[in-house]
Amino acid sequence: GTPLPKSASLADALRQYSVNSGAGLNFLEPRGLVNTGNMCYMNSILQVLVFCVPFYNFLDQVRQRTVHSMKSDTPLIDAMIMFMREFKVLASAESADSLRSRLKQEKLEQYGDSITPEYVYEVIRKLPRFASMRRGHQQDAEEFLGFLLEGLHDECVQVMQGQAEEPQANGVSSPETVLSPGSADGWLEVGPKQKAAVTRTAGQQDAPSPITKIFGGHLRSELRVPGQKDSVTLEPYKPLQLDIGAQHVSNIVDALKGLTNTEALTGDFGGRGNTAKKQVFIDTLPPVLVLHLKRFEYNSSLNGTQKIWKKVGYPLELQVPKEVFSPARRASLQISGLPKYRLTSVVYHHGKSAAGGHYTVDVLRQDSREWIRMDDTIIRRIRAEDVAEGGSEEDPKILAKALEQHKADQDMQKQRNMYQGLDEAEKEPEEEKPWSEVNGNVGGYKKNWSGVAASVTNGTATPTSTTGKRTPTAKREGVRDNKVAYILLYERIRD
């Protein structure tokens, strides 16, 4: 788009933001982030976002266009712009190809000093939205990503509405959708074969913000009740939640197809007992598709959550399968082609619990060729194959044996729970709390599942027992070997 003058208001910059506005690419100098008191869940997400090209360009456009009008009523946006500016631009170009031609070999391994983004933590600490994430409490990276994107979205909407000259139109309407006569609470959609369905949009309908333009899509939930019009609800998503627990799900394409599984519902539909059918499809896809692999599920016998350890394959290039779209959408995609995405980052979770554990990330740099792996302050170059192998499959025999062991562990879990307090009291002081959490107990009788899973999910021999004391170094290595992909970011490939 045409650059706005520097005097342009922040509201103008936000309203006119376009993901594909022809912004160039900046090859950034990576920097490690110091993990001060269990902050790796935040740091992993901050790294992913700064290397997400559309998000970086959004912050950069806001910074350039509103240089004189930064105000404290957008503390999160301000903090993220400050964070973005910590990363030196090593080279710039209009395309990945020209960027690659400009890069000298020595630039590929030029890394900056590690930093602590204290000002980001401070803003987060003060905002009510993040109240559950007080400093020092290990938290979930996916939950933090959701809070952060919602917080940024809310700030954008507040600024746009505060200075809006006219109300924003509901962003759900499409050529095949018309407002139903006399119906204020829904749309009347005329689909194929002139079959009518009442369509509603779930959740608060804000004006589209740069955040929803980058990360936001809609799911289409269809409810079919015999003798009634189909009811269609459009539900916003960012990230897309993927169930991976089913035995047949071995990769993310399987998981995406699983979104559309028909669910039978019984209840009082339209004043009479009926069995309804619910089916969910993807209605729209965003430029940056965030996939959350749901690895933590509630287990009633354990009276708590348990981690799904299995590897779930993911490709470096993803073609979204046609089965995930509604039949009407499939017809239009036959002409335009199925959407294709490029993997740009992976967040890994190490350890056995969502409340504990450790996070590391792989990110694709702006030249779309170079990958780096970041573990707090440690940065190193890796190959694309190393990233893809993070989702590779296990040997079925080893997996079966591990699952058998897992079941045996579960059967004994309740008995062990009574010893938990005693074990905690006997534990040696640890220099880092998260590592003691992810490694479980150090009592000689304890053989925990995370150790068993480590040897399975990565195909490497890691200790399956936590007997005896360990040095911090050995303990860290064990945890780092024991990882599974948790969050995937894919960027849309434009033809």
Residues designated catalytic = 40, 358
Helix, strand, coil percent values for the chain (each to nearest 5) = 35, 25, 40
Tell me 116's DSSP state.
-
Question: H/E element holding 79?
Answer: helix 75-84
Tally of CA atoms within 13 A in the half-sphere of 118 that contains its CB: 1
How many residues comprise the chain? 495
DSSP SS3 for 178: strand
Please give the Cα distance from 355 to 294 (Å, whole number). 14
Please give the Cα distance from 388 to 50 (Å, whole number). 21
- 152: Cβ contacts below 8 Å, ≥ 6 apart: 76, 77, 80, 209, 211
Please give the Cα distance from 420 to 259 (Å, whole number). 39
Please give the Cα distance from 11 to 13 (Å, whole number). 5
Residue of 81, 82, 241, 53 whose CA lies nearest to 156: 81
Please give the Cα distance from 340 to 322 (Å, whole number). 11
In which residue are the tokens 């309908």 written? Answer: 205
Please give the Cα distance from 14 to 71 (Å, whole number). 14
- 115: Cβ contacts below 8 Å, ≥ 6 apart: 31, 32, 33, 34, 86
Tokens at 195, concatenated: 């079959």
Residue of 313, 336, 174, 196 whose CA lies nearest to 250: 313
Tokens at 357, concatenated: 């554990």
DSSP SS3 for 318: strand
Tally of CA atoms within 13 A in the half-sphere of 192 that contains its CB: 7
Specify which residues 375 forms β-bridges with.
378
DSSP SS3 for 143: helix
